[in-house]
C-alpha cells in the first residue's frame, strides 16, 4: 500500500496546516450527543500541535444546502474540541471571509482554530469543477500545507477533499491511514473464518458490498429492514415490513451465487413483529415465514430480528476470526426493538480476532446501547466511504493522496 503521510510534508513548526476532519457529529438542542468523530481526529491534531504547526481545522456538519444556518454551526464542536485537546480552540465565524483570515493569521505555533461549516458555501459540494476549485483556492490561501483526515468524505469529489489537496503540499492523516489498513485487511487479507453482518434499511444500499465481498467471506448474516427483501425472495409474505420489490431478482441471484461459492447466508428464523411503528406499539415474536400469521395480519410490521435469530448470529460471530458489521438489526432507537442489535454488538466484543463496526448507524448504535469504542477492534468514522471501499470503488479523496493498494 502507498499513501502520502504527514512525514512527507517536512518540518511543520511555524507552518499553517489546514486539516480536513470529519466533525459531522449529531446535535440535539445545540448539544453534541456523540463526540466519537471528534475523538477520532485527536491523534492527527495532537501530532501536528506537538510538531509546532499552526493548525486550521475545517469540516462540514449536516446538510445546510450552501447557505449559513445556525443549527448547523460548528461552534459547539470548537468548544468540545478544545476540551479534548486541553487548549482553547479559536473559532472563525466564516470559512474564507474576514473572520477566517483573522483567526488564521492570529495563530501561534501549536495553536488550533476551527473554521465555520464548509457547506455554508455552496461551492464546497458544487458539481462545477471551476466553482470547487475557486473555493479551494480561497481555503488554500489560509495555509501552507494540507492534511486530509476526514475519512467519511474521501468518496466525495468536494473542494476541501479533492481540489484543496491539489493546491497545497498534501498528505493523509493518521485516521485515514488507520481506516485504510483495516479496510484493506477486510478485502485482501482477512483471517478466517470471515463473517460479514449487514443490516440497515435497504438492500439496495448494500448491493455493491454483497457483490464484492460474497466471493471473499465464509458467512453473510442479514438483518435490518433489508432482511424482508430476502424473505420475500424466498416466497415469504412480509406484511407491511420494508420491502424493495424491484430487488427481488437481484437477491435471488445472490442466494444462488452464495450456494455456488459455498458461502453461508444466514437469514432470520424469527422476527419481532409490531402492530405499527412506535415505542409503545404492540409486538410479538413470530416465525420468519409467519409474519402475517400474527394477530396483526397483513398489517404487521417487522422491526427487529427475533431472539433465536440473534442467538444464532452471535454464535456465528463468536466463532469467527474477522467480522465486519454495517447496519443495525432493527429499529434500535426504540427500546422494544433494540435487542437484536445489542446481541450482535455484544458478540462482536467477544470474538478472538478483528471486529470492525462500519460507521454510520452501526457506530451510533453501539454507543447508544452502552458499549465503548475500546470494546471493538475498530469503529469506522465513514459509513458511506467504508462501503464504497468495500465495493471496490475508486475514492477520489484517496487517489489524490497517492493511494494505491
Residues contributing to the annotated binding site: 22-24, 37, 60-63, 119, 156, 206, 302, 333, 359-362
Instruction: Residue 19: name the closest of 4, 7, 6, 34 by CA.
Output: 6
**Measured CA distances, 293 to 244, 272, 296, 298, 309 (Å):** 21, 13, 8, 8, 18
202 is a catalytic site residue: yes
Given 360, 382, 383, 397, the catalytic residue: 360
Given 4, 15, 20, 37, the catalytic residue: 37
Annotated binding site for ATP: 206, 302, 333, 359-362
342 is a catalytic site residue: no
Is the bond into 58 cis (omega within 30 degrees of 0)?
Answer: no
360 is a catalytic site residue: yes
CA distance 203 to 247: 8
Rg (CA), the chain: 23
Tell me if 244 sits within 8 A of 205, measured CB to CB: no
CA distance 315 to 309: 10
Annotated binding site for (2R)-3-phosphoglycerate: 37, 119, 156
Given 202, 216, 276, 321, the catalytic residue: 202
CA atoms within 13 A on the CB side of 41: 33
Annotated binding site for substrate: 22-24, 37, 60-63, 119, 156
Instruction: State the cell numbers at 29.
Output: 438542542
Tell me if 5 sits within 8 A of 172, measured CB to CB: yes
**Measured CA distances, 305 to 38, 302, 313, 317, 347 (Å):** 32, 8, 10, 15, 15
Given 52, 110, 278, 384, the catalytic residue: 384
The DSSP secondary-structure symbol of 205 reads G
253 is a catalytic site residue: no
| Residues annotated catalytic, as ranges | 37, 202, 360, 384
Amino acid at each position: 500500500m502507498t499513501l502520502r503521510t504527514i512525514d512527507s510534508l517536512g518540518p511543520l513548526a511555524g507552518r499553517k496546516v489546514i486539516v480536513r476532519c470529519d466533525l459531522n457529529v449529531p446535535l440535539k438542542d445545540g448539544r453534541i450527543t456523540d463526540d466519537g468523530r471528534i475523538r477520532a481526529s485527536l491523534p492527527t491534531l495532537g501530532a501536528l500541535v506537538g510538531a509546532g504547526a499552526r493548525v486550521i481545522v475545517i469540516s462540514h456538519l449536516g446538510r445546510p444546502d450552501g447557505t449559513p444556518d445556525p443549527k448547523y454551526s460548528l461552534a459547539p464542536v470548537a468548544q468540545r474540541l478544545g476540551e479534548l485537546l486541553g487548549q482553547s480552540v479559536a473559532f472563525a465565524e466564516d470559512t474564507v471571509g474576514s473572520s477566517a483570515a483573522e483567526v488564521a493569521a492570529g495563530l501561534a505555533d501549536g495553536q488550533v482554530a476551527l473554521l465555520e461549516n464548509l457547506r455554508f458555501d455552496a461551492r464546497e459540494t458544487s458539481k462545477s469543477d471551476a466553482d470547487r476549485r475557486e473555493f479551494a483556492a480561497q481555503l488554500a490561501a489560509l495555509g501552507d500545507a494540507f492534511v486530509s483526515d476526514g475519512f467519511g468524505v474521501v468518496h466525495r469529489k468536494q473542494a476541501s477533499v479533492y481540489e484543496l489537496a491539489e493546491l497545497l503540499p498534501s498528505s493523509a492523516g493518521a485516521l485515514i491511514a488507520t481506516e485504510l489498513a483495516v479496510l484493506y485487511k477486510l478485502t485482501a487479507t482477512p483471517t478466517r473464518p470471515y463473517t460479514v453482518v449487514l443490516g440497515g434499511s435497504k438492500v439496495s444500499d448494500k448491493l455493491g458490498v454483497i457483490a464484492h465481498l460474497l466471493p471473499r467471506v465464509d458467512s453473510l448474516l442479514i438483518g435490518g429492514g433489508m432482511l424482508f427483501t430476502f424473505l420475500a425472495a424466498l416466497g415469504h409474505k412480509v406484511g407491511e415490513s420494508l420491502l424493495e420489490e424491484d430487488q427481488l431478482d437481484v437477491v435471488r441471484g445472490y442466494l444462488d451465487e452464495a450456494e455456488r461459492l459455498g458461502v453461508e447466508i444466514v437469514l432470520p428464523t424469527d422476527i419481532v413483529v409490531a402492530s405499527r411503528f412506535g415505542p409503545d406499539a404492540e409486538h410479538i415474536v413470530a416465525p420468519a415465514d409467519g409474519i402475517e400469521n400474527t394477530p396483526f395480519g397483513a398489517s404487521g410490521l417487522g422491526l427487529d430480528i427475533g431472539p433465536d435469530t440473534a442467538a444464532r448470529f452471535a454464535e456465528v460471530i463468536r466463532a469467527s476470526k474477522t467480522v465486519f458489521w454495517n447496519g443495525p438489526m432493527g429499529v434500535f432507537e426504540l427500546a422494544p426493538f433494540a435487542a437484536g442489535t445489542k446481541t450482535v454488538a455484544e458478540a462482536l466484543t467477544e470474538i478472538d480476532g478483528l471486529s470492525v463496526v462500519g460507521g454510520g448507524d452501526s457506530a451510533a448504535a453501539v454507543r447508544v446501547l452502552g458499549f465503548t469504542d475500546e470494546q471493538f477492534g475498530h469503529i469506522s468514522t465513514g459509513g458511506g466511504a467504508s462501503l464504497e471501499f468495500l465495493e471496490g470503488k475508486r475514492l477520489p479523496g484517496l487517489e489524490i493522496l497517492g493511494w494505491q493498494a
